Amino acid sequence: MTVPTYAEIRQAIVDGDAELAAGHARTLVDAGADLLEAIDQGFSAGIREVGDLWEEGEYFLPELVQGAEAMKAAMAIITPQLTAGLSAGQTRGRVVIGTISGDLHDIGKSLVATLLAANGFEVHDLGSDVAVEDYVAKAREVDAHIVAASALLTTTMTGQKALAEALAAADLPRQPKMLIGGAPTNPQWAERIGAVHAENAMRAVQAAEALVGG
């Protein structure tokens, strides 16, 4: 069994080769490889490059979709392995997560949700294009410790501010911490709206752990 290099994994995503990406994922699982490291340095690196090529005008919608499908194919194999060891009822905290209203991107958000679940969080993924009131309602329903919101467009990141304001005004039984991410966001923006920023999925897990006390 030849374990793929991180460069080969990344290239499979960049090429939008879903079959090859899934094959790499199966090989990693069978080999007992460090899946979190493979995600961070291989699969995530590839989808970030796809996003960069899209922003630079080198990739168009078909290539963007193919890259996303390759990522989904790989994660469909890896995700069950990451969450397999968790016992029922075990949780480090409850997280409501989604991509902000007006934004249909969900690959990065879904990766964060997967890694949070793999690290013992109870994750409620609302999907993409999520209205502020839906975040608030779900946070109330599950008594969330954290509300996480992704924005991949500069035109939608203002929705994160609206969400922060809505959570503060909602008089929830527990005031959840807010975690944000996405390409146009930064620590300064997060501080401005009273949130914590994470630049990638691995950092999001670390931030969530810190927000719930380790």
The string of DSSP letters for 129-195 reads SB-HHHHHHHHHHHT-SEEEEE--STTTTHHHHHHHHHHHHS--SS--EEEEE-TT--HHHHHHHT-
Instruction: For the chain, give the percent of residues with pLDDT over 70.
Output: 97
Contact assessment for residue 152 and residue 185, using Cβ atoms and an 8 Å cutoff: no
pLDDT at 68: 85
More confident of the two residues 1 and 127: 127
* Domain 94-211: CATH class, spelled out: alpha beta
Q: pTM of the prediction?
A: 0.78
Average pLDDT in the 174-197 region? 96
CATH 3.40.50.280 domain position(s) in the chain? 94-211
The SS3 call for residue 122 is strand
pLDDT at 90: 64
Band of the pLDDT at 158, cuts 50, 70, 90?
A: very high
Q: Is 6-83 CATH 1.10.1240.10?
A: yes
pLDDT at 120: 84
pLDDT at 178: 98
Whether the pLDDT of residue 131 is over 90: the answer is yes
Q: What is the pLDDT of residues 57-109, one digit of tens each?
A: 999 889 988 998 999 899 889 988 887 766 555 678 999 999 999 988 887 89
CATH 1.10.1240.10 domain position(s) in the chain? 6-83
Hey, which of 36-40, 61-65, 121-125, 177-181 has the most confident mean pLDDT? 177-181
Four-CA torsion 6, 12, 14, 17, nearest 10 degrees? -160
- Give the lowest-confidence range in 96-105, 116-125, 154-163, 172-181: 116-125
Whether the pLDDT of residue 172 is over 80: the answer is yes
